Amino acid sequence: MIPALKNFYEQQHAKDLTALKKLYGRHTEDCIRAAELTVDSGRREQYLNLARQWIEAATSLQASTK
């Protein structure tokens, strides 16, 4: 799921990398918030894994813009 969304977002925000970085940050925050609210440990781990993937996407974006 993350790669497809990431590709879509990068196409839509190719000229505004600051907006793209903010978007990735919001996705990370949303996943962390969802993990905090869930009582199912399996689902919590899935949300945390998604948060890690969004962090990695933001990090790779920063590395590619330097």
pLDDT (tens digit per residue) in 17-57:
888 999 999 999 999 999 999 999 999 999 999 999 999 99
Token pair listed for 53: 């993937």
In a domain, 4, yes or no: no
Flag whether 3 is in a domain. no
Domain for residue 31, yes or no? yes
Cβ-count burial 18-39 (b if 16+ within 10 Å, e if not): eebbebbeebbeebbebbeeee
**DSSP state at residue 3:** H
Domain assignment present for residue 24? The answer is yes
**Is residue 21 one of the residues assigned to a domain?**
yes
Instruction: Say what the pTM is.
Output: 0.83
Number of domains in the chain: 1
Closest CA to 20 of 29, 30, 8: 8
Query: Domain range holding 39?
Result: 17-65
Q: What is the pLDDT of residue 52?
A: 96
Has residue 2 been placed in a domain?
Answer: no
Domain assignment of residue 43, yes or no: yes
In a domain, residue 1? The reply is no
* pLDDT given for residue 63 in this prediction: 72
**Whole-angstrom distance, CA of residue 63 vs CA of residue 35:** 27
Give SS3 for 45: helix
